[in-house]
Chain A
Amino acid sequence: MQTKNTKTLYLIPYFTWIVLFVIAPIGLITYYSFFDLSGNFTFDNYRNFFSSVYLTLTLSSFWYAFLITLFSLIIAYPTAYWLTKTKHKQLWLLLIIIPSWINLLLKTYAFIGIFGLYGPINAFLNVFGIGEQQILFTDFSFIFVSVYIFIPFMILPIFNALDKLNPSLIDASRDLGASSWTTFSKVIFPLTVNGVKAGIQAVFIPSLSLFMITRLIAGNKVITLGTAIEQQFLVTQNWGMGSTIAVFLIIFMVIIMIITGQREKGATSNGKNK
C-alpha cells in the first residue's frame, strides 16, 4: 500500500542520519581498531581483548547492566501501572521526567552527600540505633544511582503500553474468575510486552557503557567496558585499543538485538492476530 516514492521521501532524513552518524563512525572506529600506538596495522588489539583483564571487564559490565535493568524493571512496572490509575496521570508522568533534566554531575554530588557518613541517610539510621554504615562505594550505591538515572527510560514505554490497555479486558478476565495474578500474568503483562522490551533496551544497552558513576559513586570498585574505553581514549591515548573495545560493545549489542528481535516478531504477530 506504500509506493516506493513516499516511502523514501520521509525516510531520507533518517537514512542520511544512519549513513552519516552511525555507519561512518562505525567505519572509523573499525579502521582505528586495526592500528597500534605507533600507527602500524595490527591485530594485536583484538588479541589483547581476549586477555583475562578485558574478559573480566566484559563479564562485570554485563552483570551490572543486568542488575541495573532488573531493578529498574521491578521498580518501574508497578510505578507505571499505578501512575495510569491516578487522576492527573499525564502530569504525574511529567513529574517523573523532570528530575532527569537537572545536571547529572550535580545530582551525583548530591548523592555523595546524601549517602555520606554524615549524610541524611546515616543520620536516619542513627536515630534507629543502627549506627553509621558505609553506603558510598558499594555495589548497592552504584546500582541505586544507576537505577535512579535510568528509571524514566523504563517507566515511559511501560506507562504508554499500560495506558492504552482496554479496561474491559481486565474486567472480563476478572469476571471469568481469574485471580489478580492470573489477570496480570495472562492478560496485562503480555499486552505490555513491547513496552517492557523497549524499556529494557533503553536501560540495558547504555548501562553496558556506563562510566562516570563507576568512579563517583562506586569509587572504581566497579569497572566496566565504558570505563576502559574512556581510559584508553583520554588517558592512554590508545585510540586503537579503545576502538577495539567499542567494536566488541557494538557486537554484543547486536547479539542482544538479535535475541530480543526474534521474540519481538512473535509478539507483534500475536498482537496482530487479535
Chain B
Amino acid sequence: MKEIVRAVIAIIVVCILLFVANDFLNKSSGKAGSDTVTIFNWGEYIDPDLIAQFEKESGYRVVYETFDSNEAMMTKIEQGGTSYDIAVPSEYAIEKMKENDLLLPIDHSKIPNFKNIDPYFLDLSFDPKNKYSIPYFWGTVGIVFNPSLLDGQTFESWETLWDPSLKGQVLLVDSAREVIGMGLNSLGYSLNSTDESELQEASAKLKMLTPNVKAIIGDEVTQLMINEEAAVALTWSGQAADMMWENEELDYAVPEEGSNLWFDNMVIPKTAANLEGAHAFINFMLDAEVAAQNADYVGYSTPNIAATELMDEEVTSDERFYPSEEIRDNLEVYNNLGLKMLGKYNELFLEFKMGTN
C-alpha cells in the first residue's frame, strides 16, 4: 500500500512541476491573453517563422491546430467547441461546407493582397467569385516514377500503368476519388462521372490493374518512393515534389488524358470569433514575400503570381509543378458529387481493394 501511495504522490508532484514548466513556456513565448487568431491547418503546411512574423506585425497571438483529413476537420467545425478563425480545406470540402452553412463570406475590401493571385485560379466552379475561399496552394494528381527501376516507360498516358512489365510495381493512394478517377480518365471519361455504366467500365478496367498493384497506401508513399521500394506511384504533385527533393532519380508526369487539379484554400469557418484577425491573416499570407517564403518551405505550388516572381526561376519554370495553361486546361477540378455518389465511388473502391489480395 505504501508503495502505491508513494507512486500517486510522485505522479501528482511531477504533474504540478510540468504545469509550472508549461506556464513558464507559455509566458516566454509571448503575449498570452491578447487577441488570438486560431488557425486550423494540415500539419507542416506553413513555415512556422511566418507565424511568428505575423504575431509580431499584427499583435495577435496565433493558436495553431492541425488536422489530417478534410472530413475530420469538417466534423470538428460542425460540432463547434473551438473558435477556429481560419481553416484550410480542399476544394471539394468547400462545396460541402457551403452546403452545410459552415462558412462565412470573406470581405475582399480587407484583403488588398488578393490582387497577387493568378486570375486563372480565381472564380472557379467550387466557389464563384471567391466569396468564401482564397487559394493557398494548388497542384495536380499524377504519376511519380523512378526511371532507374523502369525500362524507359514514361507516363504520357494512364495506359502505361497497365503495362504487364510493371507487375507488382505500382503504388496507389488510399483514396476513392483519385483511384476511380484515374480509371475513368484512362477510358477518356470525366473524373466527375456519375454515369453508372461509365463507373462500371472504370471499375472493370481497374480490376485488370490488380496484378500490377503493390499496395494501396496513404502518406507513407513518400517514404516508399524515396527508398525505391516501388517504381511507380499514383500521387499528388505536392507529395511528388517532396519525394523528388529527397531522391533525385524520381520524376513526375501528368498523363495527357487528363487528371485532377486540386486546391487547398483558406476559409473563415462559421466558428470564427476574430474576423478582423482572420482577414489580417489571410492578407498577410497573400503578401508576395510571405507567400514566396511559405512556398519555399512547404514545397507546393503557390497560386500567388507576385510570389512566383520572387522565387527561384528553376522552381517556377518547372512545367511538372507549374504546368502551362494549355496543360492545366486538360485538368478537372473535383465536383461535389453528393454523399450518395461518393458512397458509390467508395463501394467500388472497396471492392477493388478487396480484390487486390
Contacts and interface: CB of A to CB of B under 8 A. Distances in A.
Are chains A and B touching directly in their complex (CB below 8 angstroms)? yes
Contacts of B168: 134
Q: What interface size band does chain B fall in?
A: 20 to 34
Contact of A236 (B214, B220, B343): B343
B227 A118 contact: yes
Interface in A185-242: 215-216, 218-223, 228, 231, 233-238
Contact of B71 (A116, A134, A237): A237
A237 B353 contact: no
Contacts of A221: 215, 356-357
Given A113-B223, A235-B176, A220 B217 contact: yes
B279 to A, nearest CB: 30
B224 interface: yes
Contact of B346 (A109, A220, A236): A236
B223 A109 contact: yes
B185 to A, nearest CB: 20
Contacts of A118: 227-229
Contacts of B216: 215, 219-220
Nearest to B345: A236
B53 interface: no
Interface in B205-263: 214-218, 220, 223-224, 227-229
Contacts of A53: 347, 350-351, 354
A127 to B, nearest CB: 19
B215 A117 contact: no
Interface string B331-357: 000000001101100110011011011
A32 B356 CA distance: 31
Given A37-B343, A112-B220, A215-B216, A228 B229 contact: no
A234 B72 contact: yes
Contacts of A117: 227-229
Nearest to A37: B339
A225 B357 CA distance: 16
Contacts of B350: 53, 223, 228, 231
A136 interface: yes
B240 to A, nearest CB: 19
A136 B71 contact: no
B345 to A, nearest CB: 8
Nearest to B353: A220
A37 B353 CA distance: 23
Contact of B215 (A116, A119, A219, A223): A219
Given A109-B223, A116-B227, A236 B218 contact: no
Contacts of A109: 220, 223
A117 B146 CA distance: 15
A137 interface: yes
In this complex, the member of A218, A220, A222 whose beta carbon has the largest number of chain B beta carbons within 10 angstroms is A220
B292 to A, nearest CB: 31
A16 interface: no
The 3 closest A-B pairs by CB, nearest first: A219-B215, A220-B216, A137-B215
20 contacts: A37-B339, A57-B354, A113-B227, A116-B224, A116-B229, A134-B168, A136-B215, A215-B174, A216-B218, A216-B220, A219-B215, A220-B215, A220-B216, A221-B356, A223-B354, A228-B350, A231-B346, A231-B350, A235-B176, A237-B71
